Structure 1
């Protein structure tokens, strides 16, 4: 009596499976081709003579030799910051004598340039970079970190990829333009902050406040960020360029436990250190929930689906079904885990003054980088429910993730960046991404909704550890590409039309 209903259920199940497979495959193999053809001719490559090549390398090496280190919010190498000011005046004479360029110092050590265009009806844009660097002890480096030494075709030193390469690249590109008697149609600003590594409060923030007070609105803003990744994204076979359309938020959480001091010969059942340690362990052992697929990383992986082989291509094209599986895969390495969730990093612990004294106070700091699908308040609620101990006092400084900048085909800034990346690096695809670090650009939200983060460098797997690490370097050809990128971006931005393209398959 049950045979017929069972057969019906089996038939329905098989039909459902067939339909599901058909939907998955249809969605996967009808995605647009990543290869595009631009409808207009892009900016021509700048032809550099041997003397100009020597000039740009000399400028970068000289910049690296100035140790503009930000140690903390209260300690910077101000002597080096002042020296950097004198250096750029010497290195880029055309900029400082041009009638098209207005210059002013901001916050004593930051720099703001305005390059006047001939068509005031076009909204200006802005190029942003920072001249300060993190500390670099000499131990472990192949060459001294502030030597700017050239070795095997690479220039070594702190700042070669974060972020003096962009500072010098932008200024060198403008210098070359002015030497060639170029006057833009569209005005633009160049902002160079001096304290990005410690929050940008006295540099970029002051620049943004100054422009906002003048009523300036920007068509788009470009800051450091993501890059051209070659072999970095596992499962892909060709270089991929990522443009950051947002960046994670941040929380510096301070935990304090106070208890009675005493002699180590008569320890309490729980000390301030023990209570604090238990709280830190709970935070580390209970990571924030996965938010994969709920932020702009969804668009990144869906647009990259064609770059993966089977079955990853099917899974990436159908995150509505496979997001939990992909999330578990990405969680396996620290770099990709940062895409999945708000990360928790125990960074500072302080307690105790003597081996035989029970300390009255124990303190720690935990840094969270907030996923775009969460807010600082949501993260703090999870933190409190995880610690669940009123003896641990919490205080924090925080900021939410940046709003997601537009990346549609009608957005001038995003499409101009895509066009320039294609021109310089001959790379496809170019897709949106999430910047897991924080940049000066977060201070400019009142000036534009179109804030993008892209560093014009090619990064291979071994290069990622050089950020804030040992043997930071850039190849000579790589730095020339940095200059080429900014030179051509200035040209490509000199238009009143959004760059247009079509997918190659649409031409057939």
Structure 2
């Protein structure tokens, strides 16, 4: 017996030694200590006011495309033309489906594939804020500030379409998502033209107008137009990841630039469950709503299997070196500890979404009366597909959850597969790293999985190198303001974003 325990002890010592050796020798990416100061923003009131006045134009997209109020979109096009005459005069520019805008700055060499920068004109509604009368005197091309708009909602420090400049910030719906990026791209291209910098390859800008409702009539048609023209892009840059301030990721004592190299797929299913209706005084043993409850419980209790994909493995390899010892131990010893690592990841809402196709029950409809049994109950479940899971997999998962019940399943909204995963060993990705170091030295730059849908997905038909990243450093509260109340972008972030995109445009072929 003593020999047995000694043998077990010896195995444990060897196992612990192996775990420790693997942890301390694991090739986590080393984050270089910043040896240079960040680029310092230079005051540029004109650039700030051009964005401010652009926010005043309420280019809201909501519902189906036919319900749009197109007047603000017409005003926005005229405002861009008045604000950036150099860009319009020195580029080939045209419209796709009337409101999609494309700009092409010609390069010296036609044998090089062009690069493409994306944004979108539309914004989500401002919520319950009363925005009437905020469209008067929408814009002026002279860059002078418009009269301030009175605060109209307790949830907004300033009216959502006021474009107020205060406290070192530019306030309003779309400041981050995503007029800030659109105007920074126009500013960067304007500066290139003013400085007579002719790039080696063509640089394109493409702005959709219905991204917030699926992008079918904007980005999709622009991408198809590029395809028809035989264009292939060496890189496509769009929104997605951000620079997360130190502390936003638990255990990471550094700013983290999360670059979306892929995005999740999407499937929303409306499930109609049938049963016996009638008066509540004589109910059946199992009602339609009870059956629906069983199905919903199945969907939540038996979700799709979590998995650490190559992209997420790369993500952990990049940030792991800055994580606590226990996290590094689990990441570097997945040969033994992967079940434990996955178990920990799935306990947190954010990290759970990184490792599985998520399930979200979002809507439900039954009887309209307190004493009426509905013969049919419907609910909606939304899945965000992890790369590696397919729409077919999700359909089979739904079929399994509804087995034994009389149901109808209808897919609604925009069903689509998860995107392809873009590589990180490209010039396009390396320029992102270099650009981030320019404006925020010491930042950990890492590939990431974008949870939400973007216009970038539509451009897979014209490029294999698609990166979703907006170079602004924000905290969790600022991140929550996107699509919510009190959205703003700091002037520092905006000016740094202009510099960042200008850096990529100027240095892509150096």
Pairwise same-fold verdict (TM > 0.5): yes
CA contact 2:22–2:333 (8 Å) conserved in 1:
no
How far residue 7 of structure 1 moved from its aligned partner, in angstroms, is: 4.1
Identify the residue that residue 500 of structure 1 maps to in structure 2. none
Identify the residue that residue 99 of structure 2 maps to in structure 1. 109
Identify the residue that residue 33 of structure 1 maps to in structure 2. 30
Q: 181-190 vs 275-284, which deviates more?
A: 275-284
Q: What whole-Å deviation, never above 9, does each CA across 1:431-478 have from its counterpart, x for those lacking one? A: 111111110011111211101100111121222211211211111111
**Which residue among 79, 85, 99 is the counterpart of 2:77?**
85
Q: How far apart are the structure 1 equivalents of 2:41 and 2:470? A: 22
Identify the residue that residue 122 of structure 1 maps to in structure 2. 112
CA contact 1:264–1:356 (8 Å) conserved in 2:
yes
Q: How far apart are the structure 1 equivalents of 2:107 and 2:192? A: 13
Q: How far apart are the structure 2 equivalents of 1:204 and 1:269? A: 51
How far residue 359 of structure 1 moved from its aligned partner, in angstroms, is: 3.4
Instruction: Please tell me whether residue 333 in structure 1 is matched to residue 344 in structure 2.
Output: no
Root-mean-square deviation (CA), in Å?
A: 2.4
Q: 451-460 vs 68-77, which deviates more?
A: 68-77
How far residue 4 of structure 1 moved from its aligned partner, in angstroms, is: 4.7
Q: How far apart are the structure 2 equivalents of 1:13 and 1:317? A: 18
Q: How far apart are the structure 2 equivalents of 1:6 and 1:366? A: 53
Gaps in structure 1 of 5+ consecutive residues: 496-508
SS of the aligned residue for 2:62 comes to strand
How far residue 180 of structure 1 moved from its aligned partner, in angstroms, is: 2.0
Q: 343-352 vs 445-454, which deviates more?
A: 343-352
* Pairing 1:404-419 to 2, within 5 Å after superposition: 404-408=421-425, 411-419=426-434
Identify the residue that residue 256 of structure 1 maps to in structure 2. 272
SS of the aligned residue for 1:296 comes to helix
CA contact 1:46–1:484 (8 Å) conserved in 2:
no
Q: How far apart are the structure 1 equivalents of 2:243 and 2:330? A: 23
Instruction: Please tell me whether residue 289 in structure 1 is matched to residue 286 in structure 2.
Output: no
Instruction: Please tell me whether residue 59 in structure 1 is matched to residue 50 in structure 2.
Output: yes
- Matched residues, number: 480
Q: How far apart are the structure 1 equivalents of 2:251 and 2:11? A: 35
Identify the residue that residue 324 of structure 2 maps to in structure 1. 309
Q: How far apart are the structure 1 equivalents of 2:335 and 2:77? A: 52
Identify the residue that residue 315 of structure 2 maps to in structure 1. 300
SS of the aligned residue for 2:443 comes to coil
How far residue 6 of structure 1 moved from its aligned partner, in angstroms, is: 5.6
CA contact 1:240–1:430 (8 Å) conserved in 2:
yes
* Pairing 1:210-225 to 2, within 5 Å after superposition: 210-225=225-240
Identify the residue that residue 23 of structure 1 maps to in structure 2. 22
Structure 1 residues 319 and 254: CA distance shift in structure 2, 3 A: same
Gaps in structure 2 of 5+ consecutive residues: 130-152
Identify the residue that residue 376 of structure 1 maps to in structure 2. 391
CA contact 1:130–1:194 (8 Å) conserved in 2:
yes
Identify the residue that residue 213 of structure 2 maps to in structure 1. 198
Q: 347-356 vs 482-491, which deviates more?
A: 347-356
CA contact 1:421–1:427 (8 Å) conserved in 2:
no
Identify the residue that residue 439 of structure 1 maps to in structure 2. 454
TM-score normalised by L of structure 1: 0.88
Q: How far apart are the structure 1 equivalents of 2:283 and 2:15? A: 66
CA contact 1:113–1:189 (8 Å) conserved in 2:
yes
Structure 1 residues 163 and 13: CA distance shift in structure 2, 3 A: same
* Pairing 1:389-468 to 2, within 5 Å after superposition: 389-396=404-411, 398-408=415-425, 411-468=426-483
SS of the aligned residue for 2:325 comes to coil
Q: How far apart are the structure 1 equivalents of 2:56 and 2:404? A: 49
Structure 1 residues 473 and 386: CA distance shift in structure 2, 3 A: same
Instruction: Please tell me whether residue 324 in structure 1 is matched to residue 315 in structure 2.
Output: no
Q: How far apart are the structure 2 equivalents of 1:46 and 1:36? A: 19
Q: 199-208 vs 376-385, which deviates more?
A: 376-385
SS of the aligned residue for 2:156 comes to coil
CA contact 1:305–1:314 (8 Å) conserved in 2:
no
Structure 1 residues 3 and 478: CA distance shift in structure 2, 3 A: closer
